Amino acid sequence: MKKNKRNPWSWIPTLYFAEGIPYVIVMFVASDMYKTMGVSNSSLAFWTSILYLPWVIKPLWSPFVDIFSTRRKWILWMQLILAFAFAGVSLALHLPWWFPVTLLFLWVMAFTSATHDIAADGFYMLALSEKKQAFFTGIRSTFYRLAMIAGLGLLVIITGLILDNTGLESKKINIEVVPAESFVSEVSTDEEISTFFDQKQNKDEAEIIYYPEKIQIPLYSKESGLDSVNVYFALSSFPVDEDSVKMTFGQKSGSKDIKLSGKSVFVFKKDNWNKPQMATIKVAHNLRHPDTARFDAKAGNISLAWSISIGTLAILFFLLALYHKIILPYPKTDIPKDKSENASYLSILGQFFKLKGIVPAIAFLLFYRFSESQLTKMASPFLLDSRENGGLAMSLTEKGFAYGTVGVLSLVIGGILGGVLAAKYGLKKWIWWMAVSINIPNVVYIYMSYAQPSNLYLINSMIAIEQFGYGFGFTGYMLYMLYLASQSKYKTAHFAIATGFMALGMMLPGMISGWVQEMLGYSHFFIYVIICTIPSFIALWFVSRDLDASFGLKEDV
């Protein structure tokens, strides 16, 4: 017998966890995946930003979810399609044309996820009384945030652990800059280098080998003219189950005056695995004292690591669809609406553009996150990029913990504090402070791009500050959309339209952020990001004058 009601605790946590996971993968984790797979910042920012389009236009097709079938069936079918989309990404990573094919599956994932959002939110309202809706609002939000931690944190950490334990073992290479008088020049001939590698090769197990085994560079002087050393790489043998091995070489920690010059990615194939490939490390001419740096040579199986972690999500969503088929209730009101009930949707859309002060309101929706939307796209590439490229060279595991755990928890705390203060003093009193909070903490990235710290405690602290500010400031954005919708009798529809403009305000700036970063470099890009806060303050100035001072204040009980 079909049950009209079930204990909400049995399905609300899993439903909203399922709602959060695909959004996080499409919007954030995909950038991590493409960065580690070698896609340029301009390409990954452009294509992953376009994936925001389904959430931009989501309000336009929400009536079709009401007309065709029940919300319950929509939820189950969307979760099954998401399972196949995750499986598609997982398998496509092993194909020669993996980039466009994975993008295709991410597109399917994005449209399916946006449709799942519509169905899940509608089902929530149909399956619960108004009293229970209010009670479980915090629960659904909590499990959506847990999905963010699982995606941005746990999934990325697991991928990093798989990466570190697949492929070839990483080599940690110490570089020393020594006084010129204690430096002993070791100029090796091509024959000596070849002999060294010949002696190291033909092993049963493939590994990275490099020459020289002890690397020193003298402090630069005009007399010697020496300012660099060449390091040579090859493999001891070639893995039988691989077509190619990609090795990355870059600085992990130490002096910024010791830098890699030239290429940092080396590809070994069956016809060149035993032929040495050269990297050049230089010392800055203004360095006046001995110093050290650590460089890492890594050849983990990147596609396999992401394939396993994304493939696990395919299994998870298949199980979620099966679980929800059994456990979701059958609300009596969950029936398809008559088409005539939605015939006036275009007129409702037209009414949105007739709201008082709608022009500055739309400008506010588009520009409030003009700075943050660009920072968000480039934050992960910056944390993962090599130090030679201006990044922090964090591993996936380190980045997953910093951004996906510490960052998300800070964001949640900031959001809770913002809600408490707005409820106590009203939105109008705090909106300017919230705008400052979402924008100004971005300066921590300027500091990190210039200092390039390797101390993980410091990096985590910087990310926590920025994400706390984002959470606090985003509260004002959400409350303003509620305020805008509250002026209309079509509150639900007009709030959905406002979220579409919110998504558009994230999509368009994000599309160009990678190109701007590649033009400017990370340090200048983050300065540019701060300059981009100006439009948000201008837009806020226009809308804040007409804000109702009592909006947001908690009603006395």
Distances, alpha carbon 296 to alpha carbons 30, 257, 392, 455, in Å: 24, 17, 13, 17
The pLDDT tens digits for 251-278 are: 888 888 888 887 778 888 888 888 888 8
Q: Answer left, alpha or beta for residue 225, where phi above 0 means left and psi between -120 and 50 means alpha.
A: left
Q: What is the pLDDT confidence band of residue 338, given thresholds at 50, 70 and 90?
A: low
Q: What are phi and psi of 201, to 5 degrees?
A: -90, 180
Match 């800059």 to its residue by tokens: 177
pLDDT at 542 over 80: yes
pLDDT at residue 471 tops 80: yes
pLDDT at 137: 61
pLDDT of residue 557: 35
Same domain, 65 and 182: no
DSSP 8-state class, residue 334: -
Peptide bond preceding 212 in cis form (omega within 30 of 0): yes
Same domain, 138 and 189: no
pLDDT for 13: 87
- Of the pLDDT bands very low, low, confident and very high (cuts 50, 70, 90), residue 135 is low
Q: What is the pLDDT of residues 186-203, one digit of tens each?
A: 667 778 888 888 888 776
| Least-confidence region, from 175-189, 301-315, 409-423, 437-451 | 175-189
Residue 527 reports pLDDT greater than 90: yes
Which CATH number characterizes residue 540's domain?
A: 1.20.1250.20
CB atoms within 10 A of CB 341: 12
Shared domain check, 403 and 280: no
Of the given ranges (84-98, 392-406, 458-472), which has the lowest mean pLDDT?
A: 392-406
Q: What does 191-229 look like in DSSP terms, one character per residue? A: HHHHHHHHHH-S-SS--EEEE-SSEEEEPP-TTT---EE
Q: In this prediction, what percent of the chain has a pLDDT beyond 90?
A: 21
Contact (CB, 8 A) for 293 and 175: yes
Give yes or no: residues 440 and 540 share one domain. yes
- Domain with 277, as residue range(s), is 168-300
Scanning the structure block, which residue is given the tokens 């990029």? 385
User: Do 178 and 157 share a structural domain?
Assistant: no
- Kindly report the backbone phi and psi dihedral angles of residue 283, in degrees, each rounded to the nearest multiple of 5, phi listed first: -110, 140
- Residue 525 and residue 386 in one domain: yes
Same domain for 395 and 330, yes or no, is no
**510-543: buried (b, 16+ CB within 10 Å) or exposed (e) per residue?**
bbebbebbbeeebbebbbbbbebbebbeebbeeb
Does 502 share its domain with 355?
A: yes
Indicate if 401 and 313 belong to the same structural domain: no
